[in-house]
Amino acid sequence: MAPKVGILAGGGPLPGYLVDACRSSGRDVFVIAFEGQADPRVVEAAPHAWVRLGAAGEALDRLRAEAVEEIVMAGPVTRPTWRELRPDRRAAKFLGRGLLNKGDDGLLGAIVRALEEEEGFRVIGADDLLDDLQATAGPFGAYGPDEDSTADIEQGVRVLHTTGPLDIGQAVIVQQGIVLGLEAAEGTRGLIERCAGLRREGRGGVLVKLPKPGQETRADMPSIGPETLRAAAASGLAGIAVATGATLVFERDEVVRLADEHGLFVVGIAPSDIVAGYASGS
């Protein structure tokens, strides 16, 4: 029998997709829903407990009480202030480890290591449960990138390969060879909306979204969905490029429908074909 899965649920739809996948495969699941982060509508259908983000001890004790063996971290978490977080002893230990490696990647990597090496859980990636949602190679719908958009995609990959070690973000928008913006704390949708006002005349830009080189994808795998397509269309983008096998695509049929409706392309690429050695975990 497959081990019971514990979902550490932040925001967005991903925790719900994971619950559905566990149910479909017959796996037992329990959700730790972080207060002020998880969407009640997403977690309410599964066995769950609401836990304050800084109460790591309570969360870990509850997971053990539920006989959870594997943990998956799902959904973005808005960083609270230290006063709002009020970390307990275990949370402070996790955070202390992560602060030795500044940035989200260092923190998430430290949390994964602590969960496995000190707490005895096995941390798995969302893609381990959602293999059918991983991006495939090539165009998703009726449109593909033309020569100019392909050049912008290649420029975007090179930019993300360079900025990845700085732990800035997973996405960049390039138009006609010019970088309009890098994803920062505002997230991908915020990046798209910000760059709408920077759009140049002529062919629209390209959103390139990839794992950062060396990123701990078990904790933070890139994803796109219908909302990404709606934002891209509203901002006049020509299309979106994502990493094949390293990006989750939510509601793919709807993504394709929206792309075709608005004349956008969505394409799965291998970043290593553009920059040798580009890979998460490298």
| Amino acid making up residue 79 | R
Phi, psi dihedrals of residue 31, rounded to the nearest 5° = -110, 130
| Average predicted confidence (pLDDT) for the chain | 89
Q: How does pLDDT run across 9-23, given as a tens digit for each residue?
A: 998 899 999 999 999
Given the candidates 3.30.70.100, 3.40.50.12160, 3.30.390.30, 3.40.140.80, the CATH classification of the domain at 134-273 is: 3.40.140.80
Give the pair of three-digit tokens for residue 176. 């006609």
Q: How confident is the model at residue 53 (pLDDT cuts 50, 70, 90)?
A: confident
Q: How does pLDDT run across 193-242, given as a tens digit for each residue?
A: 999 999 999 889 999 999 988 777 777 789 999 999 999 999 999 999 99
- Percent of all residues in the chain with a pLDDT value above 70, rounded to a whole number: 94
Give the pair of three-digit tokens for residue 18. 């994971």
Give the pair of three-digit tokens for residue 12. 């967005």
d(CA 4, CA 6) in angstroms, rounded, equals 7
Helices 104-117 & 89-99, crossing angle to 10 degrees?
A: 130
Give the pair of three-digit tokens for residue 129. 């449960």
Give the pair of three-digit tokens for residue 86. 């009020």
- The pTM of this model reads 0.84
Phi, psi dihedrals of residue 267, rounded to the nearest 5° = -135, 140
| Cβ contact 30:68 at 8 Å | yes
- Percent of all residues in the chain with a pLDDT value above 90, rounded to a whole number: 64
* CATH fold label, 5-129: Rossmann fold (3.40.50)
Q: Which part of the chain is CATH 3.40.50.20?
A: 5-129
Helices 226-234 & 187-196, crossing angle to 10 degrees?
A: 10
Averaged pLDDT for residues 84-89: 80
